[in-house]
Amino acid sequence: MKIAVLSGKGGTGKTIVAASLAASLSESQYVDCDVEEPNGALFLNPEIIETTPVNVLVPKVDESRCDGCGACAKACRFNAIAVVKKKVLIFPEICHHCGACVIACPQNAISEVQREIGVVETDRNGRFLQGRLNIGEPITIPIIHKLKQSVREDKINIFDCSPGASCTVVQTIDGCDYCILVTEPTPFGMHDLKIAVSLVRKVGMPFGVVLNKAMAGDKTIQTYCKNEKIVVLMEIPFLREIAENYSKGILPVKMDKAWEGKFVRMFSSIVGGIEL
Amino acid sequence: MKQVVFISGKGGTGKSTVVASLSLLVKNKIIADCDVDAPNLHLLIKGERLHSDDYFGAELAVIDSTKCVSCGICRDICRFDAISEKIEIKPMKCEGCGACVLACPQAAISMIDLKIGETYVDQTQRGTFSHALLDIGADGSGKLVTEVKENLFAFLNGEDWALIDGSPGIGCSVIASITGADAVVAVCEPTRSGQSDLERVLGVARHFGIPAFVCINKYDLNLEITAEIKEFCEKNGIPLIGKIPFEPAIVKALQLLQTPVEAGIKNIVGEIENIWSRLQIQLGTVK
Amino acid sequence: MKIAVSATGKTMESQIDQRFGRAASFIIVETETMDYEAIDNLATLSSGGAGISSAQSVAEKDVKAVITGNVGPNAMNVLKAASIEIYKAAASTVKENVELFKKGVLEKISTTVPPHFGLGGK
* Claim to verify: residue A135 and residue A247 sit in the same structural domain: yes
In a domain, A51, yes or no: no
**pLDDT at res. C118:** 35
Chain A: residue whose CA lies nearest to C81? A84
Q: How far apart are alpha carbons A75 and A106 in whole angstroms?
A: 12
Which three-class secondary structure state does DSSP give residue A48? strand
- Cβ distance of A100 and B136 shorter than 8 Å: no
Query: B171: pLDDT confidence band, cut at 50, 70 and 90?
Result: low
Sheet holding B2-7, edge to edge: B47-63, B109-124, B127-134, B29-33, B161-165, B2-7, B183-188, B212-217, B240-244
User: Any idea where the domains of chain B sit in the sequence?
Assistant: 2-45+126-283, 57-115
Give C-chain residues touching B182 at CB under 8 angstroms: none
Beta-carbon contacts of residue B254 (< 8 Å; ≥ 6 apart): A186, A187, A188, B17
CB A56, CB A48: distance < 8 Å: no
pLDDT tens for C12-55 read 999 999 889 889 999 999 999 999 999 999 998 887 888 999 99
Reported as a pLDDT band with limits 50, 70 and 90, residue A164 is confident
Smallest CA–CA distance, residue A248 to chain B, in Å, is 7
Q: For residue A179, is it within any domain?
A: yes
Q: Do C78 and A89 touch (CB under 8 A)?
A: yes
Return the pLDDT at C119: 35
C121 falls within a domain = no
Q: Are C49 and A94 in contact (CB under 8 A)?
A: yes
Q: What CATH code is carried by the domain that includes residue A137? A: 3.40.50.300
Going by C-alpha positions, the residue among B226, B265, B228 that lies closest to residue B248 is B265
Instruction: Provide the residue range defining the domain that includes C43.
Output: 2-112
Amino acid B170: pLDDT: 66
Number of C-beta neighbours around residue B149 at 10 A: 23
Q: Is the model's pLDDT at B67 over the cut of 90?
A: yes
- A225 and A175 within one domain: yes
- What does the mean pLDDT of chain A come to? 92
Burial pattern C53-75, b for ≥16 Cβ within 10 A else e, equals bbbbbbbeeebebbbbbbbbbbb
How far away is chain C from the Cα of A163, in angstroms, using its nearest Cα?
13
Instruction: Round to whole Å and give the CA distance between B284 and B157.
Output: 22
Tell me: the pLDDT tens digits for A218-252? 899 999 999 999 999 999 999 999 989 988 889 99
The structural domain count of chain A equals 2
Contact yes or no for A135 and C121 at CB 8 A? yes
A181-226 pLDDT, tens digit per residue, is 999 998 888 988 999 999 999 889 999 999 999 988 889 999 999 9
Does B207 contact C18 at a Cβ distance shorter than 8 Å?
no
The minimum CA-CA distance between A165 and chain B, rounded to whole Å, is: 5
- Asked if the Cβ–Cβ distance from B207 to C119 is below 8 Å, we say no
- pLDDT at residue C122, as a whole number: 26
List the end-to-end C-alpha distance of chain B, in Å, as a whole number.
18
Q: How many CA atoms lie within 13 A of A76 on its CB side?
A: 32
Q: For the domain that residue C89 is a member of, what is the CATH number? A: 3.30.420.130
Do A149 and A227 belong together in one domain?
A: yes
The mean per-residue pLDDT over the stretch B161-176 comes to 82
Look up the CATH number of the domain holding residue A75: 3.30.70.20
Q: Which residues of C touch B208 (CB under 8 A)?
A: 70, 113
CA-nearest residue to C122 within chain B is B196
C68 assigned to some structural domain: yes
The DSSP symbol for B246 reads P
**Residue A149: per-residue pLDDT:** 95
Does residue A90 form part of some domain? yes
* pLDDT the model gives residue B192: 79
Q: What is the CATH architecture of B57-115?
A: 2-Layer Sandwich (3.30)
Question: For B19-38, what is each residue's pLDDT tens digit?
Answer: 999 999 999 999 999 998 88
Domain count, chain C: 1
Query: Are A229 and A249 part of one and the same domain?
Result: yes
Are A161 and A258 part of one and the same domain? yes
B168 reaches A (C-beta below 8 A): yes
Q: Which of A10, A165, A249 is nearest residue B136 as measured by Cβ atoms?
A: A165
Sign of CA dihedral C64, C65, C66, C71: positive
Q: What is the distance between the alpha carbons of residues C103 and C13, in angstroms, rounded to a whole number? A: 19
pLDDT score, position A213: 92
User: In terms of domains, do A189 and A260 share one?
Assistant: yes
Which domain covers residue A250, as residue numbers? Answer: 2-46+127-271
> Residue A11 — very low, low, confident or very high, per pLDDT cuts 50/70/90?
confident
DSSP character at residue A93: G
Judgement on whether residues A226 and A138 belong to the same structural domain of the protein: yes
CA A30 from centre of chain: 11
What is the DSSP secondary structure assignment for residue C43, as one 8-state letter?
G
CATH, domain B2-45+126-283, list 3.40.309.10, 2.60.40.2310, 3.40.1190.20, 3.40.50.300: 3.40.50.300
Pick from A79, A84, A118: CB nearest C49: A79
| Substitution target from C16, C22, C54, C74 for chain B, most B beta carbons within 10 A | C22
| Packing angle of the helix pair B15-25, B266-283 (nearest 10 deg) | 80
The domain boundary, picked from A93, A115, A137, lies at A115
Rg (CA), chain A: 22
Co-location of A61 and A176 in the same domain? no
Average pLDDT over residues B81-109: 94
Q: How far apart are CA B278 and CA B267, in angstroms?
A: 16
Interchain pair C19, B208: CB under 8 A: no
For residue A121, being part of any structural domain is answered with: no
pLDDT class of C112 with cuts at 50, 70, 90:
low
User: What are the phi and psi torsion angles at C9 (to 5°)?
Assistant: -130, -160
Chain B positions in Cβ-Cβ contact with residue A216 (cut-off 8 Å): none
- pLDDT for the residue B23: 96
* Contact: C78, A84; criterion CB under 8 Å: yes
Q: Would you call C111 an interface residue with chain B, using a CB distance cutoff of 8 Å?
A: no
Same domain, A40 and A159: yes
**What's the average model confidence in pLDDT over B160-187?**
86
CA–CA min distance A180, chain B (Å): 17
pTM, to two decimals: 0.82
- Provide the pLDDT for residue C120: 32
Whether residue C12 is contained in a domain is answered as yes
ipTM of the complex, rounded to two decimals: 0.84
Answer whether residue A276 is part of any domain.
no
In this structure, are residues A122 and A112 in contact, taking their beta carbons and an 8 Å threshold? Answer: no
Whether residues B189 and A247 touch (CB distance < 8 A) is answered with yes
